[in-house]
Structure 1
């Protein structure tokens, strides 16, 4: 055999070897992709269940908070007459006109105005509520009467 013939066989063998190697690696990659796709789908199903459970828990917590906000004047820890409290819900839960019932019954002559937000669990004031609290603490509160002209 001539050198050229051997070189042709070696080149053919290398090409066949590379082709077989490429097909082998491609098959391995496809198998790995399939395995990880199956794991991803399994994880999605598990995560969806956890996400639903978390969503339900958050919803329950929100509902409990809203119920607590509405029921607060009935609790002994409220500290004010429920008749003096006005629920507004946002940006704070209550404005309490402490002593208003006594004034209405002509048993008192002054009131104190209290802004109150009811929190459930470890909830904290929102940024807006903190700004309102700061305004109240700094006594940045005024009274204004708007007179409307007869039409």
Structure 2
């Protein structure tokens, strides 16, 4: 009878020990799997960041040289780079001292689209909500 109880006790202890080992082994395997997954996610995120960075740099480079590309809608000598909210303002006729048109130019590359501010500027210009203002700096008082 004591031998049966001892054998039963040993089996129970061995079972508990097996469950504990299986539990910690499962945690270790899960951590390794998560670590591999995390490393893969980091690699993909870095590749995506590099790809996006290249696209932005390519766009910025193209913007600066756009006036010298074929079919640019204005004379490069009459174009001024602004950057935001529009890339260029061109003053048609400036080189002959008689401006006959002011042209707002937004340069885009690839599949890029107008941002909300760029869309609102385009709409303001198309609806002729444009004006000229002169500002004079106040004279200093003696």
Q: Same fold (TM over 0.5)?
A: yes
Task: Look up the match of 1:135.
Answer: 124
SS state at 2:137 partner: coil
Q: Which residue of 1 aligns with 2:80?
A: 86
C-alpha distance 24-69 of structure 1, shift in aligned 2 (>3 A): same
Query: Which of the pair has more CA radius of gyration?
Result: 1
Give structure 1 regions of 4+ aligned residues with deviation exceeding 6 angstroms.
none
Report the secondary structure of 1:97's partner residue.
strand
CA distance in structure 2 between the partners assigned to 1:150 and 1:113 by the alignment: 31
Residue deviations 1:116-137 (CA, integer Å, cap 9, x gap):
1111110111111111111111
Aligned residues: 137
Matches within 5 A, 1:1-151: 17=12, 20-102=14-96, 104=97, 109-151=98-140
Tell me how far 1:29 sits from its aligned partner. 2.3
Q: Secondary structure at the match of 1:77?
A: coil
C-alpha distance in 2 between matches for 1:35 and 1:20: 22
> Pairwise CA RMSD of aligned residues?
2.4
Distance apart, 1:21 and its partner CA: 4.4
Listed as ranges, the gaps of 5+ residues in structure 2 are none
The CA deviation string for residues 54-79 of structure 1, in whole angstroms up to 9 with x for no partner, is 21111111110000000000001212
- For structure 1, the residue ranges without an aligned partner over 5 or more in a row are 2-8
- Say if 1:77 and 1:62 are closer, same or farther in 2 by CA, change over 3 A: same
Q: Secondary structure at the match of 1:69?
A: helix
TM-score normalised over the length of structure 2: 0.83
